[in-house]
Structure 1
């Protein structure tokens, strides 16, 4: 598989790619620099929205704007003028925490996880956001990361990175209730830490490996590793499908905390990569329903 660099911009901590099918654009964040990036492969046009706060994730809204979670809370960004309106912050009392990965569920609600700036154990949580308010769903996480939902909407998959596992929860789409937590698959530390995640049209999970130089594909029903894609940088953060028919695999990466020597060996660290016509197909990103 040929790995290409999408655009010359390199993030300190690139994360959370999402394909905007309405505008044929790939969107992602640079958490530490507080930026949202958008690139149109067809128009070869790059746009950056300054959040000016650490921004953990974005999702698409049904009105064509973004919902985001930053150190100022959860809010909406107007893509026309760049203005942000924050509406809730469930961790306003925890200034040492920040939001990390998040995605919308099939019912159009945002799920977002938090973590300690120092990565202290069991200090993060996962929230469900709807109707301008957040509800606590999972407690005592460390580094909340990948999220995905099965095609039948009955299973919620979740990664808390240091556990080296993907867990599954029974998911009730109407209420957003989760239960019956169990380990779906386990990764080995030598392969890097499981970070962001997406799901393909066959129901298989794709996992980015922080420190592992790779993205992997897994069967969540058996826990079997199906495929391994090597990349030219170590800190792989997340992945998603995009492009025409959702057959291109987009992959984010980071260069944070690399030494000068490591940067010389990884000149592409922080880049957004793509594997065109990767042989698999994704599913459309769930939008936030306002």
Structure 2
């Protein structure tokens, strides 16, 4: 199996870097530090990493059609205007549950925002994968999850892939692009626990899956037809959290990492933990879907 090493893109000690997403119009990478309450925009041309502090834990960020950033924070969804810094609150289905926070999420081909929750103590079955639509509606898509991660849809919009990290599996559902309904869950890949915990995920133009391995120092390319790992990106840090294709040709993979719960000895050994990494690949990704603009007055 071919391996390639990722290179440092931006040195930072993010507690839990996550939610990487390519903003193609601005040629920047959006990403978050969950426990430092930040949404970042990294410009690879200038090397500048601009941050917005939300004042509470932030699971992920997506683009909207109008250019706002939609995010899943501790309790639900909000919107940020990156030009003015103005924030608008959206639905907050977990407002009464301080032991729960939102984690990973992405937009589906219909323009709705899917984001999942988890318990702070990672209690099994405490999470829910939600769908937020343009009317302000909220639906429960998958219940009894533990750590929602790695949501992607295939190129023709017929399959939805999802990682509930503690299962060490990648699940596939048949997806209806008209209704957003999912059904017929099956396992398409199993990750050996010795390789690390499956975390964030991206999909490339050939419908192969790219899975970040927390405590595994890798991102692996997986064939969802047979579960085989066919390529890997190796990092100089252990806690690999998410990945997203970017660059003008979508052939660069950006990778977030974490330094969460690492002691001084571990940080001495892996001093770049929490940093942002990048690697040029012989594969191309696809653009992320954008959220339809939410009517927050509804």
Secondary structure at 1:6 match in 2: strand
Structure 1: which 5+ residue stretches go unaligned?
none
**1:179 partnered with 2:183:** yes
Structure 2: which 5+ residue stretches go unaligned?
294-298
Alignment partners' CA distance in 1, 2:8 and 2:290: 27
TM-score (structure 2 length as normaliser): 0.95
What is the Cα deviation at residue 44 of structure 1? 2.8
Contact 1:99 / 1:113 at 8 angstroms: preserved in 2? Answer: yes
Contact 2:7 / 2:278 at 8 angstroms: preserved in 1? Answer: yes
The residue aligned with 1:47 is 50
The residue aligned with 2:296 is none
2:96 to 93, 96, 110: 93
Alignment partners' CA distance in 1, 2:6 and 2:153: 27
Alignment partners' CA distance in 2, 1:178 and 1:72: 24
The residue aligned with 1:280 is 283
2:120 to 117, 120, 130: 117
Alignment partners' CA distance in 2, 1:263 and 1:132: 43
The residue aligned with 1:170 is 174
Contact 1:10 / 1:272 at 8 angstroms: preserved in 2? Answer: no
In terms of mean alpha carbon deviation, does 5-14 or 259-268 score higher? 5-14
What is the Cα deviation at residue 209 of structure 1? 0.2
Moved >3 Å (runs of 4+): none
Secondary structure at 1:63 match in 2: coil
In terms of mean alpha carbon deviation, does 221-230 or 238-247 score higher? 221-230
**1:8 partnered with 2:5:** no
1:224 to 222, 228, 245: 228
Alignment partners' CA distance in 1, 2:270 and 2:251: 27
Root mean square deviation of aligned Cα: 1.0
**1:75 partnered with 2:78:** yes
The residue aligned with 2:266 is 262
The residue aligned with 1:27 is 30
Secondary structure at 1:246 match in 2: coil
Alignment partners' CA distance in 2, 1:196 and 1:63: 26
TM-score (structure 1 length as normaliser): 0.98
What is the Cα deviation at residue 85 of structure 1? 1.0
The residue aligned with 1:211 is 215
1:64 to 67, 75, 90: 67
Superimposed CA distance per residue, residues 143-180 of structure 1 (whole angstroms, 9 cap, x where no aligned partner): 11111101111110000001000000110111110110
Alignment partners' CA distance in 1, 2:185 and 2:79: 31
**1:271 partnered with 2:275:** yes
Alignment partners' CA distance in 2, 1:202 and 1:3: 21
Alignment partners' CA distance in 1, 2:20 and 2:42: 11
What is the Cα deviation at residue 46 of structure 1? 2.2
